[in-house]
Amino acid sequence: MPYPKVGFRRIDWFPYGLLAPALVVVTGLMLYPLLNTVWLSFYKYSLLDILSQEKTWIWFGNYLAIFKDPFFWQVLGNTALFTAACVIVTMLAGFAVAMLLNVKFPGRAVLGVAVLLPWVIPRVAASIVWKWIFNDQYGILNYFLVLLGFDQFKEFSWLTTQMRAFTSILIVVVWQSFPFVAFSLLAGFQSISSEIYEAAEVDGASWWQKLTGITLPLLKNLLLILFILETVWDFKIFDQVYVMTEGGPAQSTYIMGIYAWMEAFGNMMMGKASAIAVIMFAILALVTWLYIRVLSREEEVA
């Protein structure tokens, strides 16, 4: 291509032109709000202050108040435990279904579709349908359980204590998130050459030996990435809890997402809510940093 005869190196503006519109939107919708949230977290900024357009700079006042509040630690603990439980059950369920999908047998295609469906349906719809299934008086779940002989489930209310409500939400969350794990792992399984398994079979390797000796080590990075992604997503969960319990009964199913939301749009304490959002972001940034480190190490190996 002919270069203009100028003394400077010609700058190629074309890629910047392509990037610019996306960059403007990303800056305006993402970077600005991110910085803005951090900035707001140093203010006392409530609904009244929004109306009068005044806010007071209070340094780390919001953070100090949050860290001193036992409720915050309770919510953080609940969120951590709930996230861990969701991640573990999702990974196990996803792994099992991926193994099943990897076997050729009649009806596999049906299973493929069936597994995909929970992932695509709106979380609000899923939560409402499950709420109906969990209904204490007319819910089909209690009916089946009683039918199977568990009489203690007659009119059992699934959402009225902390433990029960968290269990119910966990079922819905896992139901909607294991397909992602299953399909990702299935793609991983299929990337392993069948020759390796055949060679192992010749050597008389058992099913368990093939799993722990070949599959798991080869998919270590993928498993780690899925683990981190699921952790990030489950940590910031909101929809299912908001629809099923709204954080109740008596705030016992508050998780970080609900806590921040309620402070912002329930109590209209924008400053405090921003501080909670920043804390959430800091925790997730740590996890993301791990994710990037794992990825870059994987690229070095490859």
Partner 1 sequence: MKKRWKDLGYVAVLVLIVVPFIFPFFWMLLSSFKEQAQIIATPPRLIFTPTLAHYKEVFQQYAFGHFIFNSLITSVGATFFSLLLGLPAAYAIARYRRNALALTILVARIVPGITFLIPWFILFSRLHLVDTYTSIILSHMLVGMPFIIWIMVPFFEALPKELEEASMVDGTTRQGAFFRILLPLTGPGVLTSSILSFVFSWNNFMFAVVLTGARTRTLPIAIFNFLSYSEINWGGLMAAAVIITIPILVVALIAQKYIVQGLTAGAVKG
Interface residues for partner 1 in 55-94 (CB under 8 A)? none
Where would I find the beta strands (DSSP E) of the chain?
43-44, 56-57
Is residue 111 a contact point for partner 1 (CB under 8 A)?
yes
Is residue 128 a contact point for partner 1 (CB under 8 A)?
yes
Is residue 32 a contact point for partner 1 (CB under 8 A)?
yes
Crossing angle (nearest 10°) for helices 220-235 and 70-101: 140
Q: Which stretch binds partner 1 (CB under 8 A): 72-80, 161-169, 204-212, 220-228?
A: 220-228
Query: Which residue in 79, 86, 91, 236 binds partner 1 (CB under 8 A)?
Result: 236
Which is nearer to partner 1, 166 or 225 (by Cβ)?
225
Query: How many degrees, rounded to 5, is the angle at CA 25 between CA 40 and CA 46?
Result: 20
Show contacts with partner 1 in window 247-276 (CB under 8 A).
256-257, 260-261, 264-265, 270, 273-274, 276
Q: Contact at 8 Å (CB) between 184 and 229?
A: no
Is residue 33 a contact point for partner 1 (CB under 8 A)?
yes
Sign of CA dihedral 183, 187, 189, 194: positive
Is residue 125 a contact point for partner 1 (CB under 8 A)?
yes
Is residue 124 a contact point for partner 1 (CB under 8 A)?
yes
Count of residues interacting with partner 1 (CB under 8 A): 95
Phi and psi at residue 154, to the nearest 5°:
-65, 120
Show contacts with partner 1 in window 200-219 (CB under 8 A).
none
Which residues 6+ apart lie within 8 Å of 56 measured at CB?
43, 44, 45, 49
Sign of CA dihedral 91, 214, 224, 109: negative
Q: Which stretch binds partner 1 (CB under 8 A): 60-68, 75-83, 161-169, 223-231?
A: 223-231
> What's 126-157 look like in SS3?
HHHHHHHHCCCCCCHHHHHHHHCCCHHHCCCC
Is residue 7 a contact point for partner 1 (CB under 8 A)?
no
Is residue 189 a contact point for partner 1 (CB under 8 A)?
no
